[in-house]
Amino acid sequence: MTLPTTDFFEKTLRAAYEALCALPTAALHLNGIFRFQGKDLDEASTFQLDDVTLTSRQAAQLLMVFDCSRVVEQEQHNIGLDDAPPGTYFTVINREVIGEGHKNRIGIYLEEGDGTSLHFGDADQVPLGEIDPPAAQPVEGQADMARAVHVDHFFLRRQAPDYLGTVTFALCAMIAHRLGFTRISLIAGGGHGHNPEMIGYFFWPKLGFDAPLEPEETAARLEFAACISVQELLAIDRQWWYDNGTQRWMEFDLAAQSPAWTKLLDYLSEKELI
């Protein structure tokens, strides 16, 4: 079947999605022209995700693949570095856009109701496309399991176009939502006591990612005492988080009407990207 859709996408996200696709940034870098497992794909190609047939461009958006990239698919059976959950990972190689010495890596994984991810094995055993949006459905024969995206590594050159990362992520989230995925997870790096060149701890929350706070963070100031999440603290004092926040696992909630979508759409509007 073709890429499914949801009422939320059609009523709330469709206009933003089309505006992002029309941006010069997307038109130059996200057309679905890439080499996958040794096979060249172009705008007329399709990409099979079990029983869901994506266009090559939709696949590039979901997997955050820039034009002229080489993409390799690999299974990861154990928890990887930086807590990357077991799943199917797509390594993206592109010297023109991705930072020197880096390879971007995006995964699709299964998780149980408690958030534990599971390796989903062979495609004929766990068909990725058999979902009924907007709510992700359990995999047949495996209760309380749903699909999610994990951004294991995403690094752009300093010379990359402005907002390329933002546009790329937003398109990924919109396609993942249409597929019925539950969330997008990552380690938001940097912050106090960590690599000073990494700003993920501050950047990703701008796009709607959230995470629980640590006890020492809620105790840092009286007005933080009732805060549970990074987003709640940011609403009180963004500068404090910029100066004192630290890296951690963060998630973007792909469910319709989630606060993550409000945050993302507001940011895209503020930057005049939609």
Question: If you average pLDDT over residues 138-144, what whole number do you get?
Answer: 45
Number of folded domains in the chain? 1
Q: What is the pLDDT of residue 122?
A: 33
Q: What is the pLDDT of residue 144?
A: 54
- pTM assigned to the model: 0.87
Q: What is the pLDDT of residues 230-267, one digit of tens each?
A: 999 999 999 999 999 999 999 999 999 999 999 999 99
In a domain, 90, yes or no: yes
Question: If you average pLDDT over residues 134-161, what whole number do you get?
Answer: 71
- Those residues whose C-beta lies under 8 Å from the C-beta of residue 186, and which sit 6 or more positions away, are 150, 151, 152, 154, 200, 204, 209, 249, 250, 251
Question: If you average pLDDT over residues 85-101, what whole number do you get?
Answer: 92
Q: pLDDT at residue 104 above 70? A: yes
pLDDT band at 130; cut points 50, 70, 90 = very low
In a domain, 248, yes or no: no
pLDDT band at 7; cut points 50, 70, 90 = very high
In a domain, 203, yes or no: no
In a domain, 227, yes or no: no
In a domain, 221, yes or no: no
In a domain, 232, yes or no: no
Count other Cβ atoms within 10 Å, centred on residue 241: 22
Question: If you average pLDDT over residues 44-69, what whole number do you get?
Answer: 94
In a domain, 98, yes or no: yes
pLDDT band at 136; cut points 50, 70, 90 = very low
Kindly list the distances between the CA atom of residue 91 and the CA atoms of 148, 161, 211, 236, in Å, as whole numbers in the listed order: 17, 21, 26, 38
Residue 49 domain boundaries: 7-182+254-270
Question: If you average pLDDT over residues 146-167, what whole number do you get?
Answer: 92
In a domain, 65, yes or no: yes
